[in-house]
Amino acid sequence: MSTQLKFLQGERLYLRPLTEKDCENDYVMWLNDEQVCHGNSHHVFPYTFESSLEYVRYANQTRDNLILAIVSNDNDKHVGNIALQDIHRVYRSAEFTILLGDKEVWGKEYGKEAGRLLCSHGFAALNLNRIGCGTFENNVAMQKLAAHLGMKEEGRRRQAAFKDGKYLDVIEYGVLKVEYEAYFAASGL
């Protein structure tokens, strides 16, 4: 039985605060893995153990970002991170981000379950009105996750990112609280 703090509990996974112990495992390798970082802005500079410790400490003291570890219920293994970033208390908005670093969980819908847990928490507990995200035009997995969370494409920032030797458009998505609630009520999920 796990003694880890389970902040948000799902069927197959739970979300908890990051710990310094996470830095001792595969976490640092994820951000140095070209395949894991293909669809995000990481893997430009080497990511070090010291950088990960600094980030974990920041994650646990900030109130402008809710940054959590995604952990498998089966074995308490840290498989990724998820966040609501740039939480704006006046605008009641935040930016959704996710990183599934453990390739063993890819394609098993961990992103959907974790995303649903965090977005539901954002609307219900943080009183957010809008959650958005941006992703590279070639990050099909994130585009599918945004759609699963009821997000709608809101725009495109042309050639706003540079990755793997080429400029990429960034597609912007967003969902309002009323849309999110109606989407999941209608889908029965």
Domains of the chain: 8-187 (3.40.630.30)
Note the pTM of the prediction, 2 decimals.
Answer: 0.92
Predicted confidence at residue 124, as pLDDT, reads 96
Query: Rounded CA gap, 118 and 82, in Å?
Result: 8
Output the pLDDT for position 189.
Answer: 63
The per-residue pLDDT for 3 is 59
pLDDT at 35: 86
Helix (H), strand (E) at residue 145: helix 140-148
**CA-CA distance, 32 to 36, in Å (whole number)?**
8
Strands 93-100 and 152-163: unpaired
- pLDDT by 10s per residue, the chain, length 189: 455 789 999 999 999 999 999 998 888 899 888 888 787 777 767 889 999 999 999 999 999 999 999 999 999 999 999 999 999 999 999 999 999 999 999 999 999 999 999 999 999 999 999 999 999 999 999 999 999 999 999 999 999 999 989 999 999 999 999 999 999 988 766
What is the distance between the alpha carbons of residues 168 and 156, in angstroms, rounded to a whole number? 10
